[in-house]
Amino acid sequence: MAERQDGFCLREVLAAFRACLTAEQTVLMDPYLRGWNGLIRFLNSLGTIFSFVSKDAVTKIQIMEKYRSSDQRERYETLQTMVEYELASGLVSLKNRGECPESGCRTILRLHRALHWLQMFLEGLRTSQEDSKTSVICTDSYNASLANYHPWVIRKAATLAFCALPTRNAFLENMNLGTPEEAVDMLGEALPYVCKVYEITEELYAKHKMLDLP
């Protein structure tokens, strides 16, 4: 199979999420952001119809990268240190977005919710029949996750954009993991790491009652 010109390979993205996990069950920020940057590259290759999605995700990734290159970079080494630091320093608002519009905690929460969608979408792709429609897999996983946090107009725009997605096999080939069958195997192997990152983060936010941060 021809190499993609933009060099995208889902293997690297999945490896980044795997690299987030430490022996202490914490989540490292840098590979987390690297994983997201890889996904955005892929999203951009799907065409301008998804620009409204990638623009928002890029803004959020950049907020976090800014923290990682600031004087406080060590505080943001893992999601756990970030939560501890921001909560202890009064940098998170539990009620009003206007007070801390760019807190790391609220920003990561948005990406975390999107990771839930990604996990379900890739699992849907992996386990679906060859002739399944990606737009349906995508809509179902979106409705079961991210859509619950989006207003009507975004849900509408997202659902319309999903109709432009390529077929299942084209999608699997685009991942640059070999044949569709090889891509399915690779997803089966790597998705548990994405799930683990999701679970640890969910637990962390639940423990601090931050799953609804404005």
Asked if residue 146 binds ligand 1Q0 (CB under 6 A), the reply is yes
- Within residues 155-174, the interface with ligand 1Q0 by CB under 6 A covers 158, 165, 174
Name which of 52 and 206 has its Cβ closer to ligand 1Q0: 52
- Within residues 173-202, the interface with ligand 1Q0 by CB under 6 A covers 174-175
Kindly tell me which residue out of 19, 154, 191, 195 binds ligand 1Q0, with binding defined by CB under 6 A: 154
CA atoms within 13 A on the CB side of 186: 18
Q: How far is CA 42 from CA 11, 14, 143, 172, in A?
A: 12, 13, 21, 12
Kindly tell me which residue out of 6, 56, 203, 212 binds ligand 1Q0, with binding defined by CB under 6 A: 56
> Could you say which DSSP state residue 140 is in?
H
**Are the CB atoms for 77 and 29 separated by under 8 Å?**
yes
Name which of 47 and 199 has its Cβ closer to ligand 1Q0: 47
**Are the CB atoms for 188 and 13 separated by under 8 Å?**
no
**What sign for the dihedral angle of Cα 26, 30, 33, 38?**
negative
CB of 121 to ligand 1Q0, least distance (A): 6
Residue the block writes with tokens 């620009």: 51
Name which of 37 and 81 has its Cβ closer to ligand 1Q0: 37
Asked if residue 16 binds ligand 1Q0 (CB under 6 A), the reply is no
The number of residues that bind ligand 1Q0 (CB under 6 A) is 21
Q: How far is CA 149 from CA 17, 78, 212, in A?
A: 23, 25, 10
CB of 23 to ligand 1Q0, least distance (A): 28
- Within residues 123-142, the interface with ligand 1Q0 by CB under 6 A covers 138, 142
Asked if residue 63 binds ligand 1Q0 (CB under 6 A), the reply is no
Name which of 21 and 154 has its Cβ closer to ligand 1Q0: 154
CA 123 – CA 145 distance, rounded (Å):
14
> Could you say which DSSP state residue 149 is in?
G
Beta bridge partners, 21, equal 27
- Give the DSSP H/E element, type plus range, for residue 30: helix 29-45
Name which of 78 and 176 has its Cβ closer to ligand 1Q0: 176
Binding interface with ligand 1Q0 (CB under 6 A): 10, 39, 42-43, 50, 52-53, 56-57, 110, 114, 117-118, 138, 142, 146, 154, 158, 165, 174-175
